[in-house]
Chain A
Amino acid sequence: MSPITYFFSRLLQIIPTFLIVMVIIFLLVRALPGDPAIAMADAKATAEQLEQIRQRLGLNEPLWVQFLYFVRNVFTGNLGDSILLKAPVIQVILERLPASGFLALYAVSFSLLIAGPLAFVAALNRNGWLDITVRAVFQIGLSTPVFYIGLLLLTFLAAQLRWFPVGGYGTTFWEHMYHLLLPALTVALYTSAIIMRNLRSSIIEVVDAEYVQFARAKGLPEHLVLGRHVLRNALISTVTLLGLSIGNLMSGTLVTETVFAVPGVGRLMLDAIFARDYPLIQGLTLMFTILVSMIFLLTDMIHAWLDPRMRVK
């Protein structure tokens, strides 16, 4: 299968999934107790004003017609207005997205820098003291909630030692790097624990594989065995792992943004919930799922590109 056909066949698979996602999001907001019109209007609205809102939102139509409206609106990017920020939902989200994207990429880089080398060291010294120490530390990392890691870093490095700012985002690139260092580290400490654990076992699997033993048997120097055969395969599983843990990454950034007051979409989601800003909640949930399915697709593509076996299938 050529890469292009593969891409389109994967894209086709996404369509029914995405349709169900939209049904879930649609029903979620419709399941709200009470009248959405009352939720969207201010407290002093008259009966006529409420009726107007119902008309405008199509709330008097049958449910399936409302769903079709919703689908049309999603595809035209018309997600309504945020009650909290009095601006179009799509605009509010796009304003907040860069900070979260920056944080996520920053965190992924950190995770790879932490997990990659340690997984290698642990796997190559299997059951040695180094392996046991690394695994024990990461086991503790996995049992620590993200917000607690964040709070520890915030308390000691930002509030007590004053090495870092306690929140915010800054305006220039280097200010972003500085402001988001602790938040990125917070997310990375958690995600790297997941990556390191899986990477270690996949490296162990590869090291024992027959083709690696064959590479050794034919006299290939050890650094080439590791570089050419083990590393390449480890890379494949890392990509897959990163793709699959995108949900964890987003959950992590959501919590971290509230701890460090980063003006991103995660923090926006919580603000929206406490303000009962349903158009915004709906828009954000949709955005998160679109991002995840895009990442899943991208992961599959990179996987197919790295792993020749995928191309034959």
Chain B
Amino acid sequence: MTMATFEKIASLNLHKRPGFLVGAFILTMSALLALFPGFFAPFDPNAFNYSALKQPPSADHWFGTDNLGRDTFSRVIWAYSINMQMAIVATVFAMLIGVIVGALVGYYGGIADAIFGRCVDAIITFPFLVLVIAVVAVLGPGLTNMYIAITLVGWVYYARLMRAEIMGQMANEYATAGKVIGCSDMRIIFRHLLPNAITPVLTYWMTDMALAILLGSSLGYLGLGAQPPTAEWGVLIAEGRNFITTAWWLSLMPGIAIVLTGLGFSLVGDSVADLMRPRG
């Protein structure tokens, strides 16, 4: 981000927006839980306790215990590490690839751009989840393969956005000026155009992180993402599903964490998107 972007953000009085404040608070707390789960979790997330099986929520076990006596609250807290990691890992590589491809294609245009356009059309014809699931099916279930699958599909959306932005920026005089004074193509693309074109991509990134958590936990629930006994929200909900009539808390409690975190990302993302939108 450039200095101008920072000044723009500072002049917008983010602290006067309740949505942003709530979202930022949720994200800060989530980040703390993700970084220091051991500090916040009262129990070992994987310790069996046969004297406390399937106990409903109580003062000792806030979210109850599961069929092996594991403390659900501690497992939900430990899952923050995995699920917050999803928001980052599942999106960052897609963004990097997308930004580079989109910038190059947007700058050079021509045949590369035409081929790129067709490929984008093809990939967005697949329902996102179906394509990700198909790729996971080929690679095999698991967290790493899930990241690879999401990246393989997700970069397209960044590239499409970046391409359009770069093409828009190229119409400006400073781009021509760079060329005239003899800057290399790479310098013009990555030092001149990119800093001016990156804002919408970063805005989309915020929403994408929220989607990554929803997608990651859905795949975990379906048995295609993180694998049991890993404490991950989707996995926890799937494990509790068998006891839904006798121990509802097992499935319902982890969901609260998903909703809260998703809300945090989308509140912050929406405020940022709102602010970045050119006004006038």
A273 x B259 contact (CB < 8 A): no
B134 at the interface (CB under 8 A from A): yes
Give the shortest distance, in Å, between B124 (CB) and chain A (any CB).
8
Report how many A-B pairs have Cβ atoms within 8 Å.
135
Is there contact, CB below 8 Å, between B222 and A28?
Answer: no
Contacting residues, chain A, for B218 (C-beta < 8 A): 145-147, 255
Residues of B near A269 (CB, < 8 A) are 130, 133
**Which of these binds chain B: A79-87, A95-103, A175-183, A284-292?**
A284-292
Interface residues on chain B, size class: 35 or more
Secondary structure at the B interface, as helix, strand, loop or mixed, is helix
Q: Chain B contacts of A4 at CB under 8 A?
A: none
B214:A145 contact, CB within 8 angstroms: yes
Please give, as numbers and ranges, the residues of chain A lying within 8 Å of B267 by CB-CB distance: 139
Report the separation of the CA atoms of residues A24 and B153 in the bound assembly, to the nearest whole angstrom. 11
Distance A263 CA – B275 CA, assembled complex (angstroms): 45
Q: Which residues of A contact B265 (CB under 8 A)?
A: 143
B128: CB under 8 A from chain A? Answer: yes
Task: Check A28–B138 contact: CB distance below 8 A.
Answer: yes
Q: In this complex, what residue of A is CB-closest to B248? A: A155
Which residues from 230 to 271 on chain A have a C-beta closer than 8 Å to any C-beta of chain B?
A: 246-248, 250-251, 254-255, 258, 269-270
CB-defined contacts of B125 to chain A, threshold 8 Å = 17-18, 21, 289, 292-293, 296
- Is B203 an interface residue, CB under 8 A from the partner? no
The answer for the CA separation of A267 and B65 in the assembled complex, in Å, is 30
B127 touches A292 (CB 8 A): yes
Kindly state whether residue A29 has any CB partner on chain B within 8 Å. yes
> Contact partner of B214 among A143, A254, A258, CB < 8 A?
A143
Choose among A18, A28, A273, A281 the residue with the greatest number of B CB atoms under 10 Å from its CB: A273
**How far apart are the CA atoms of A248 and B211 in the complex, in Å?**
12
Interface string of B219-263 (1 = CB under 8 A from A): 001111000000000100100010011001001100100111111
B96 within 8 A of A: no
A159 contacts B by Cβ under 8 Å: yes
Which positions 288-302 of chain A face chain B at CB distance < 8 Å? 288-289, 292-293, 296
Interface size on A, residues (CB 8 A): 48
8 Å CB contacts to A: which residues of B31-80? none
Contacts of A292 in B (CB 8 A): 125-127
B114-147 near A? 1/0 per residue, CB < 8 Å:
0000110111111111110111111000000000
A71 on interface, CB distance cutoff 8 Å: no
A139 to B20, CA, bound (A): 13
Residues of B within 8 A of A47 (CB): none
Report B-chain residues with C-beta under 8 Å of the C-beta of A53. none
What is the bound-complex CA distance between A152 and B129, given in angstroms?
A: 22
**Per-residue interface assignment for chain A, residues 20 to 46, with 1 indicating a CB less than 8 Å from any chain B CB and 0 otherwise:** 110011001101100000000000000
Contact digits for A126-149, partner B, Cβ 8 Å, 1 yes 0 no: 000000000000011011111110
Identify which of A25, A152, A247, A255 contacts B255 (C-beta below 8 A): A152
| B266 close to A (CB within 8 Å) | yes
A274 within 8 Å of B (CB atoms): yes
Q: Does A151 contact B (CB under 8 A)?
A: yes
Chain B proximity of A251: nearest CB distance (Å): 3
A154 within 8 A of B: yes
Q: Does B217 contact A (CB under 8 A)?
A: yes
In the complex, what distance in Å separates the CA atom of A143 from the CA atom of B245? 25
With A151-B255, A255-B218 known, 5 other A-B pairs at CB within 8 A are A29-B138, A139-B266, A140-B259, A148-B259, A276-B137
A interface residues with partner B (beta carbon < 8 Å): 16-18, 20-21, 24-25, 28-29, 31-32, 139-140, 142-148, 151-152, 154-155, 159-160, 246-248, 250-251, 254-255, 258, 269-270, 272-274, 276, 281, 284-285, 288-289, 292-293, 296
Q: Please list 30 pairs of residues, one from A and one from B, whose beta carbons are closer than 8 Å in the complex, sorted by A's number.
A: A17-B125, A21-B126, A25-B134, A28-B135, A139-B263, A142-B262, A143-B263, A143-B265, A144-B255, A144-B258, A145-B214, A145-B218, A146-B218, A148-B255, A151-B237, A151-B241, A151-B251, A155-B244, A155-B245, A155-B251, A159-B244, A247-B128, A255-B221, A269-B133, A270-B222, A273-B136, A276-B137, A281-B137, A288-B126, A288-B130
